[in-house]
Structures are given as C-alpha cells and as structure tokens.
Structure 1
C-alpha cells in the first residue's frame, strides 16, 4: 500500500517538478493522502472522480470544493456535470498558496521550503528561447510617447479598463524576505481579482487607489511586470532581490526568464553629462559605469524605463525596438474560473 510520501512524489511528477526534493515535502504539509489521491485523478469533474475512486459524489464534490478554496486546484471549465477541476503550473500554485494569509500558521520553515523549491526550479534551468516567459516587463508610462504604446502596455490603461481590481501580498517578497519593500503590492484584475476575493486573499481596490499604489511603487524603484499577452490580469510591482523572474535574470543570467518590453533607451550624447544616475537605478547592468563614464549594454536591457525617469537632463528617450506582434494574444496569467457557490 502506498504511503503519503509515495503519493506526494507521484503528485510532484504531475506538476512536472518530479526532480524537486522540496516540492513533495510541501505537498505533505498541504494535503492528506486521501486528498492527494483525488488531485491525482484530475483533470475531471466531481462525478468522474467519485466513479474512479469509488467514493460518494457528494463527498468528493465537497472535498474538491475545499481544495479549490485552499488554492490546491483550479476550475478550468464549467460543465453540465459540474466544475472541471485541474492543477495549474507549479509556479502559479506556489503563488496561490503564498497569497493566502491562512497558510501563515506554518511559519518561517514553510516559507523556507518554498524558497528552496524556487531555487531548485526557477533558477537552475535556463528557459528555452522558443518558449516565451509567462511574464513581461512593463515600461514606465511617463517615459513613452502615448502614440507608440499599446493599451495593454500602459499600467494606467490596464487599470482603467479593468472591471474588478484586487490587491494582495507579494508572494515573492513573502517567500524571500530579502528587503523591506511593501508587501501589499500585487494587483489582480477582472477574473483573477474575483478569484483573489473569493478566497479572501486580498482586498478590492478602486481604480483611483490602484493608480496611486502604482505611483507609490514607482517612487521606490519597483518594476512593473504583467502577463505576457494582450489580456493582462495582473500587475506585479517587483524588486530585484525577491522577484522570481527578476532574480533569475539578474543574479543567474537566465535571460529568457522574463520577456523584455518593446522599448529600449536611446541616449542623446549632447545632453548626457555622465552624472551616472541612470547606472544607479538600472537593475539589469544595462547602464553601467566604466572609467567614470556611462556605458549602455543593449543586450542586458529589459526596457523598464527607470533610467529615462531618473535622468535629470532628459538625455534618455525610450524608443520602440520590437513590433506589436512581440506581445502574443492570450488570456492573462492564470485564467481560473470562479464558481457560483
């Protein structure tokens, strides 16, 4: 008979992180053996899971609903036979657990496990160049001419077009604990906001308060990132020392971990005074100091616009370097459905 460790290992394989030594330990904390058996039976409806496991449909439906509310599983679609449940990507699963303050009861050791898991999975493998990252850097709006920027590249337009907005704790800063940047900075939109509020992981924001939050994040040098498609459902405000994507790029040189914005700085030598302020705000080592002068390394640039915003002489202009098709069509970061119950 299989024990809990066997099921946890099997479930780690299902999440496609079977190589991780840490992930099964996390699963053992989060789930009972019986719950793992149900999750292993997915994707499916409660009726089909009950048939496979020879259990009562009502019992299975109630348990799957509970697993959904705990962030273990998502709803992929609604069918006449009930919700079709499934697991999500391991990285999204990590966020859906860490967003939830109810897991704080497990303490620092639980966060340390997630920190170890991140090191195993996010930093070691270099993402294949032909598979774009789930996330993309958003340029600072003030540094781009409105005529050249798309609505889903503008933080203000993303917020203004949203029907529902929520804010929750940053899962990355909660996991890493490397800085004193504010935690409540992760903005969810529309269906994802409904999900966050359904699970009571965050609070609803007005558009005005969301825009104010973004401005405050810009003032302290955080970088905006969003889902790498034309229907963004999240705006993260990221620090280089904790962010899953930025850390991978900056400290481990996994350049494909996040997609660059469509813009890049163009420097006017006649205006540049080599004050080096741009080098002090650049996280990506694109603007660097060499022999007392500013040097731009274009390959390192991710188009965040922090350098242009910091320049006191208006010597830096953000110019379009990638076409509109650089941003693929899509449905947000995690299009999980929200149930009626």
Structure 2
C-alpha cells in the first residue's frame, strides 16, 4: 500500500468546509505546503468536519493520546491554521475547528503570518480555479448593512442588520488589518488598512495570536463612522452573530469585486435593502450619488437621478444616500418575500454553505 498523501487529504478536507476548495491541477497543494507540515495536514484532515471539538473528542475519533492532541491542536491554532475558542469548562479549556479557505485561512495568515511565500500559489489558485464560481453560486460570504437606520425609509431595519444592535450584542472587540487592502496593495486605494473588526470569541483568538489589537465598542463604532465619511461600506459576516464586521472599499475589497462579478443569483442576498428615489423633485442632478456607487447602479438623465428597475448590482450599502444632501434618495427594505434571514452564527453559516455546495456539485 502506497504512502498516504496528507496534502491531498488536507485539500479534500478544506473542500468539505463551507463553500469548498475545488482542486486545480495541484496548485492549491503547493500553497498549502508553505503553511502546513505533513503532520499538520494529517491533523487538519483528521478533525471532525464543520464542528468545534475538544482535544478529548479529537483523540477519541482518531485513537490518539489526548495530551498529544491538546498540544498539537493548540499549536496549530497559535499558527492560525485552525480556529480556537474557549469552552465553558475553564480559562485554559479550548475547542477547535477547521476553518475554510476564506473567511478563514487567508485572513488568519494575512493578519498573523509575516512569511507570505504561500501567496503566489494561493493567488494563482484563487484566480484560475473554480473557487470563485462557488462564491457566486451560493449564499454570499458577507452582506451589506446600512450605516444608520435613518438612511432607510421609515427606519425599517431588521435587528440583525442594525449595526448599532450588532455592536451592542458583543462584549469584546479587536481590530486587524484589512487583508484585501494589505495583500493587493492597490496604489489608488487611500483607505486606512486597520479597519477589520472582530468580535467576542473571534476577537480573543485574534488578540491572543497577535493578529489584531483589542479595542472598545466605541472605538469600533468610530472606525465605522470614519468609513461613512471616506467612502467605505459596512459588510458583516453572513450570520446573525456577525463575528466579523468589515469596513470595505470597492477599490480594495475582494468580496466587493466578487459582488460586482456575481450579482445573480446570489446578488439578492447581498443585503436586505436597495436604493430608491423617494423625492424626485428634490434631486438637483448633481451626480454625486452616481459617483459614490462602486457598482455603477445609478446614473443621471435629463437632470435627474435614474434608478434602474431591476436594481442590478445594488448592494444596499447606502453610499449614494450619504452623498445625497437633498434627501432625494433613501434605502428601502426589500419586499417581505425577498428578505434574507442569515444563519445564527459563523459555524451554522459554514454548514449552510456546505449544503449549498453539495447540492450544486454533488459532494
């Protein structure tokens, strides 16, 4: 019997998490070899898929020593190859889980690993493989929410889309670099890099791994407010719990670029709101709203703003509403039959993405 290829097992395990990690002529394994030792690869592949697990559960599944499992899983989590969070059993009691290629391995490594030798391989993989096709065919990784409920007609904002309620729901916050801006280094992007907000258990993981720094709720709010001023968009992890709150820009954010490429069918899930002209008489045809939209949704015709009937590409971010100083534009909640209710937390979202992926490709 030949030697088991642990990197092939690792790639297959990653393909079994979230939106998947489809093979592409082995390029993906070249990048993984830069991050994972062979033992790391085997350990990741041996974990229970899409579930948090204690060292005792891992040891029972794989017939290994629990002390070894505890030390190994902790070590891998400190190198941000897997995710770690505390259990209710005590301060130093942890459970671990596999995280996908994104949001996960790429962001964790981008924030905490100074060795970027894996990036050329992963960049080639992301650009050439069918990975992006999967992102466009399933529930989006993030969704846009308004900066303020006052931007929305009748202040109708769902509780899990109200950024103030989202912030109030969490106790602990951290901020890290925006990995998209940091890795792409777009010379035309002048937005600050330290804008990626992480909450609660994920915040602990980032701070303890020195991938980010602890901040207060007020500091998190200030980051988002500054984004409204300089043209960034609030995107939150596609879960009610909103473990990650991004302050993104269309010039640097990979997810916003994907939104522009894949606005159907998943586009209807990028947000629960869309732009609407609520007072055509107030419009002075200045064009600031059209200039602010990163997806070319709006235009000005005959001295008035034109909102297309199909709203193709509109993410409901509210950038245009912020720029409209006459009150002609507001966001409007979508019809009830089109509203989107996200999974409870990120682990539940991983399972939802996986189910969609299995339905789409059959495995």
2: CA distance between counterparts of 1:293 and 1:85?
A: 55
Q: Is the 8 A contact 1:151 1:157 kept in 2?
A: yes
Deviation at 1:281, TM superposition (A): 0.6
Deviation at 1:83, TM superposition (A): 5.4
2: CA distance between counterparts of 1:48 and 1:156?
A: 38
In the TM superposition, what whole-angstrom CA distance separates every residue of 1:91-145 from its partner, at most 9, and x where no partner exists?
1222222221xx11x24x43333332332355344633xx422311112314125
| Structure 2 gap ranges (5+) | 16-20, 350-363
Listed as ranges, the matches of 1:247-286 within 5 Å are 247-251=257-261, 256=266, 259-267=269-277, 268-286=279-297
Cα distance change of structure 1 residues 234 and 146 upon mapping to structure 2, 3 Å threshold = farther
Residue 136 (1) aligns with residue 143 (2): yes
1: CA distance between counterparts of 2:298 and 2:304?
A: 10
Residue 69 (1) aligns with residue 70 (2): no
Cα distance change of structure 1 residues 197 and 151 upon mapping to structure 2, 3 Å threshold = same
Equivalent in 25, 28, 35 of residue 23 of structure 1: 28
Cα distance change of structure 1 residues 261 and 56 upon mapping to structure 2, 3 Å threshold = closer
Structure 1 window deviating more from structure 2 (285-294 vs 86-95): it is 285-294
Q: Is the 8 A contact 2:289 2:324 kept in 1?
A: yes
TM-score, normalising length: structure 2:
0.79
Aligned residues: 327
TM-score, normalising length: structure 1:
0.83
| Structure 1 gap ranges (5+) | 337-341
Equivalent in 151, 154, 159 of residue 151 of structure 1: 159
Residue 287 (1) aligns with residue 298 (2): yes
Q: Is the 8 A contact 2:22 2:130 kept in 1?
A: no
Q: Is the 8 A contact 1:246 1:258 kept in 2?
A: no
Q: Is the 8 A contact 1:262 1:323 kept in 2?
A: no
Equivalent in 276, 300, 311 of residue 313 of structure 2: 300
The DSSP-based 3-state class of the residue aligned with 1:270 is helix
Q: CA RMSD in A?
A: 3.1
